[in-house]
Chains A and B, each alone.
Chain A
Amino acid sequence: MIKPVVLIIDDEIPIQKLLKIALESHDFKVIQAYSGKEGLALAASHLPDAILLDIGLPDMTGHEVLKELAAWFNRSIIMLSVQNSEEDIVQALDQGATDYLTKPFRTGELLARIRTAIRRNASDKLAAQWTFQNLQIDLGARTVRKDDAMLKLTQTEFNLLVLFAKNEGRVLTHQQILKEIWGVGAQLETQYLRVFVGTLRKKIEDNPNRPVHIITENGVGYRFQS
Chain B
Amino acid sequence: MDKIALNPLDLALVLAYLLGVLALGLWISRGVKSSRDFFLAGRTLPWWAVGMSLVVSDIGAKDMVGLATDGYRHGLVMMNFDLVGCVFPVLVAAFLFMPFLWMAGVYTVPEYLGRRYNVYVRTAFAVIWALFMTGTLGTIFVSAAVMFEILLGWSFWFSVGVTAILVGIYTTVGGLKAVVVTDTLSCIVLIVGATLICVFGLAEVGGFSGLKQTVDQLSWTEHHFHLVLPADHPEFPWPAVLLGLGFVLGPAYWMGNQAIVQRTLGTRSQAEARASYVFCAVLKMVFPLLLVLPGLIALAMFYEELGHPDTWKEGEGNMLLPMMVVRLLPTGVLGIVVGAFLAGVLSNLDSYINSASTLVVNDLYRPIVRARDDRHYLLVGRGLVVVFLIAGAAVAYFVVLRFESVYKAFQTFMTFFQGPLLALLLLGMLTRRATQWGGLAGMLIGVGTAAVMHSVRFWPGGQFEIPYLWVAWWSFVAAVAGTILVSLVTRPYDTERLRGLVCWIPADNEEAPV
A and B pair up = no
Binding site for B on A (CB under 8 A): none
